[in-house]
Every structure is written in C-alpha cells, then in structure tokens.
Structure 1
Amino acid sequence: MATNALEAIDVSKTYLSRQDQVTALAPISFRIPSGSFVSFVGASGCGKSTILSLVAGLISPTSGELRLFDEPIKRPSPRISYMLQQDCLLDWRTVSENITLGLSFRGQNNTKSASHARYLLGELGLSHTLNQYPSQLSGGMRQRVALVRTLAVQPELLLLDEPFSALDYQNKLHLEELLVNVLQGRKMTALLVTHDLEEAIALSDTILVMGGRPGVLRRIIEVPGEIRKASPLAARSQPAFRSLFNELWKEIETP
C-alpha cells in the first residue's frame, strides 16, 4: 500500500488564451501521507483551487507530475470525490435520489451502496429527510446532504473546496464536527482549501501555506498534537491554537 496518498513533483500551471497567458501556479512539490487531513491556506489568487482541480484530474499541469497512490493522475479518478462550496443538489430530485447521484454516475447504484448512503445520512442526523426535496431543507441541511453524496462513493481521497464557507458560524462548527466524526475510523485522506484559518487549524494534521502570484508553497506547518487530538470545537480553546492562528495570519499577510 502506498505510504503517500498524493505527491506533487514540480507541478506548475499556466492558463493560455488567444490574447494572454497567466501562470497560476509556480512549480511546487509536496507529499500528503495516506489517512491525513491537510489544508491549503493563503490569499485569494495564490493557486489553492487550481491545485484541487489538478488533483481531481479536471485540468492538466503545464509541467511536473501529480501522483495518486503512486500512479500518475491523467484524468478524473473514481478514488477521488470532490465537494464544492455550493451544494449543487438537484431540486427536482428527493434527498434519497440526490445522495445516490454520484453512485449512479459511476454505475455503482446497487442495493448495498444505496444502503450505505442512507446509513451516512443517518450518521449526519438526516434520515427523516429521505423523501424530502432540497427546497424543504435549510442551508446547513443541504450541505450535509451534499457531504453524504460526496462520501457515498467511498473515496480514498476527499477534496473539499471551501465547503462550509457559505454557512453561519454555528452551522460551520456543527458540520466540522460531523465531518471529523464521519472520517474517524475510515481510511480516507482529506484535502481542504479554505480561507478560514481557524477551520484549517481545527481540522488539519498539516497546513500548507500558499502565497504570491503565481502561487508558491511558502511553508508546511504541522499542527500540534494537542490540537489534532481535540474535536474541532474543543481545539479552538487549546493554548497553542491562538499562537498558531497568529503565526498563520502573519504569514498570509506578508506580501
């Protein structure tokens, strides 16, 4: 079994048009161990979301190579699942139909897989919504349904692009707790892009700090053990939490 879920080797990305070219990402290299939770933070425009698109196989690097469990990423992989800021639920489908949508796309919507999706929905406290439509749900409930749809395909690598940024603070904390509870005990690697430094610290084992235009990898910070062992809510009251937050803030604010 691969020690690293993901490895980037001198990966860069330049977008070309008829009039111009824009380099979004300078060559960067990093390794993400299997089973870890890693966050990318940094100012807008430093290439964080570009990294997720590259890892997802939605775009190709201009140079360098990305490897998923020691295999080059050439196209979207069934081993990866991607959750965006918008829930992207289909309003004309019930919750039951929405949570199995990814399974249907992959030809995996069998009795066993659908049962697992319903089990996950129950873990997130939404079993009673199976026959409801997205318009009948609150914003926080919709995001929980979107999370179930993302996890239902049982990915080995979970990509999260600002998934809770549109929620109020209470719902954000609640979803963080639910996410950690669902991931515990599952052999899953998670990669989060966020502007929320508190969220990055509370959820992550490691934080990769991006900066500049084009984006470069400035620092790799290991989150202290006492924070990693605590729940996302309890982590925020750990003595080391605020000092790490201030350290990250200064790093990001530096041009």
Structure 2
Amino acid sequence: MTPIDAIEIDHVTKTYLTRQDERHALGPITLHVAPGEMVAVVGPSGCGKSTLLSLIAGLMPVTSGEIRLFGEPVKGPSPRIGYMLQRDGLLEWRTVEENIALGLEIRGKKSLKTLEHARYLLGEMGLGSVMHHYPSQLSGGMRQRVALVRTMAVQPDILLLDEPFSAVDYQNKLHLERLLASIRRQHKITTVLITHDLEEALALADRIVVLSRRPGRIRRMITLPEEVRRADPLEARSHPLFRSRFNELWKELEQP
C-alpha cells in the first residue's frame, strides 16, 4: 500500500478580489510533502510564500485545486498543525509557563501530562530556569524559543514556519536552527519553512522549492544531498556541497 503524503497540494491557485479587479497571487502549484520531511520555500518578496502557508493551514480557502493533510481535504484550521510566525506573539501578562500552555488551553488539551511535556521542551530549549519569568524579562532569542515551545507543546503532526528566526541575531538564529532540527528529527514532524535566508533553507531542509515572481509558481525544486540533510545545521554550512547549492539557488532567484 502506497504511504499517504502528509501534505498534498494539487493544482492550487489563489486569487484575491479587490474593488478594481482580481489579483492572481499564487499558482497553479502542485507539491507533495512526505511524512517527516522538511521543505523550505524561497522566492522573491510578494510571490505568495506566506499565502501558500495560510492555505495549508486552512486560514483561507483556495480559489481552485485542493489541499489534503494525511489524505483529508483542508476545510479550515486543523488541530494537527502548529503555526509559528516571525513575531513571537507572547502575552506580556502571562509567565513563560503560562504562555507555552496557551495553545493547549485553546485546543482543550491542557492536562498534567501535556504540561509536563511542555516543561520538558522548555528544558530542552535551555529555558527551564525562566519558567516563571514574564516575556519582558527575556531577550529576543529567548522569546523566540518560548514561541517555538508553545508551537511544539500541542504536539503537531505538521509544523508551518513563516520566517520564524528572521528577527533574531545570527548567533541566536544558529542556536534556534539547531534546536528546531533536533526536535523535528526526534519527533519526525513534517515541516514547511518560509524563509528569505538561503543558508537557513539549505541548512535545515530536505528539499527546497523555488517560487517565481507573482503569481507564485514552482520554477525549481532542489533536493539536498543526504550528507547535508543529516548534518547539524552549523556543520552543514561547511560542507563542500553547501556552497555549490547556495550558488545554484542564488542564480535561480536572480533570474527574471
């Protein structure tokens, strides 16, 4: 029996209606993502990368085509998805522990067992000592780690990341990448990452999808070599094949 893909995007388009006309933002796009696979999506600004993520998340309807998660058509937000944005979105009046429990509360999954798992993730992220701190007491990198724990605490099958580390400094970015790679591999979470950072895409993903200018269509797909995919994100950057793939990506994005 053929395994079911975690994400199936079949001939999907998205058109926005304005007062003046229609704006064709995306597609048609066809893309299948296997369970446990990580796909990075890169492309020019305004090409529809974030729109694609919103469609997968069920936050807006497709104009045509269909998206399925584990064989089930997307008809709205799914409890199987964890979604992390560029802004951490932490509630300033809640402690770190209370913030990471927010998704569990909203989904009715808060229990001693799920809270214990969330606290375990905090420890894995090196945040166990700040559990009772408020967001205003944390650095930018720590806030993003809390946001990542909050997203992971609901134990999603699919993780959608919209430039989650773009607002932190380079050292924190590398640290967050390593933490994400470790947790994602450990729990075999299917992941789609939107990023403008080509190094980040190459260091984290199994495959990279390059979108064209609007309306965004897939102009190229690059599968990373096994030795790069299995490497730690920092070590991957020093692999001989890393630079050649970077140049390949850069040239692709430079084309009109």
Could you tell me the TM-score, scaled by structure 1's length?
A: 0.98
- 1:186 Cα offset (Å): 0.8
1-side partners of 2:12 and 2:31: how far apart?
9
Asked if 2 retains the 8 angstrom alpha-carbon contact of 1:197 and 1:248, the reply is yes
Secondary structure at the residue paired with 1:27?
strand
Give the structure 2 partner of residue 30 of structure 1: 31
Give the structure 1 partner of residue 41 of structure 2: 40
Asked if 2 retains the 8 angstrom alpha-carbon contact of 1:41 and 1:210, the reply is yes
Give the structure 1 partner of residue 127 of structure 2: 126
1:106 maps to 2:135: no
Which runs of 5 or more structure 1 residues have no equivalent in the other structure?
none
Tell me how large the CA RMSD over aligned residues is: 0.9
Map 1:63-102; keep pairs closer than 5 Å.
63-102=64-103
Give the structure 1 partner of residue 118 of structure 2: 117
Give the structure 2 partner of residue 220 of structure 1: 221
1-side partners of 2:206 and 2:152: how far apart?
20
1-side partners of 2:16 and 2:130: how far apart?
42
- 1:168 Cα offset (Å): 0.7
Give the structure 1 partner of residue 58 of structure 2: 57
Asked if 2 retains the 8 angstrom alpha-carbon contact of 1:2 and 1:70, the reply is no
Give the structure 2 partner of residue 139 of structure 1: 140
* Structure 1: 4+ residue segments shifted above 4 A: none
1-side partners of 2:254 and 2:183: how far apart?
33
Deviations 1:97-118 (A, max 9, x none): 0000000000111111111100
Deviations 1:141-189 (A, max 9, x none): 0000000000000000000000000011111001000111112221310
Asked if 2 retains the 8 angstrom alpha-carbon contact of 1:2 and 1:69, the reply is no
Which runs of 5 or more structure 2 residues have no equivalent in the other structure?
none
Tell me the matched-pair count: 255
Give the structure 2 partner of residue 210 of structure 1: 211
1-side partners of 2:185 and 2:67: how far apart?
26
Letter in 2 for 1:98: N
- 1:2 Cα offset (Å): 4.5
